[in-house]
Homo-oligomer: A and B are copies of this chain.
Amino acid sequence: MSDLGNGLRRGRGRRPAEAVRAAALTATGEMLFESGLPGLTFDKVAQRAGVSKMTLYKWWPSPGALAFEAYFAAVEPRLAFEDTGDIEHDLRNQLRSFVRLLTADRGGPVIAALVGAAQSDPGLATVLASQYTVPRRTLAVERLRRAQQDGQIAPDVDLQVVVDQLWGACYHRLLMPAEPLTLDFVDALLRNLLRGITQT
């Protein structure tokens, strides 16, 4: 139960916790896309969001942890799945949206910096898993599961592995760059995985 409605109160009344939290996440998300992870501090977020630094410390153990949650909140709508009943269509749309987020919409450097920082920071690694990796996997597996139930994906396919072979392949090009992240790449990922690459 959110009490966001209370945000309409004027004057000295403190903003409800949910509203303060949302303001911090929004401000952090904007700052991430503007100038990236380096330089993101609780001071700057507090100033922009109009919240106290103490409040930020209460909710997030570090600016990195706040950044992850803000990133996921900012991109979550872009990671949502349609369900038109056609899994190939829905995967293509979702993956194209994801690749656009990483490239044209400049999310790539942000997520690369966050994943990079998590490699040497166990606290950030925990937040990466709980706030980003696991929920993102779950959104994909839920849509894939319905396709499996509909008979569009073979019943013995491990759907978690499919996530690694579609989104994981994109992260590979992002984090270990050598080949471009393009919409053609998305089409090739889907063609390979749906039909198989062996000569028929």
What are the residues of chain B within 8 A of A1 when measuring CB–CB? none
Partner of A152, one of B151, B165, B199: B199
CA–CA, A179 and B163, complex, Å? 11
Q: Cβ of A84 < 8 Å from any Cβ of B?
A: no
User: Using an 8 Å CB-CB cutoff, how does the interface string of A162-178 with B read, 1 for contact, 0 for none?
Assistant: 10110111111101111
CA–CA, A122 and B200, complex, Å? 43
A154 touches B199 (CB 8 A): yes
What are the residues of chain B within 8 A of A38 when measuring CB–CB? 120
CA–CA, A56 and B155, complex, Å? 55
CA–CA, A134 and B173, complex, Å? 11
Given A154-B200, A198-B194: A161 and B177 interface contact (C-beta under 8 Å): no
- A92-144 contacts to B, CB under 8 A, are 112-113, 115-120, 125, 128-129, 132-134, 137
Given A194-B196, A198-B194: A119 and B120 interface contact (C-beta under 8 Å): no
B-binding segment of A5-13, A25-33, A40-48, A184-192: A184-192
Q: How far is the CB of A109 from chain B (nearest CB, A)?
A: 9
A115 touches B119 (CB 8 A): yes
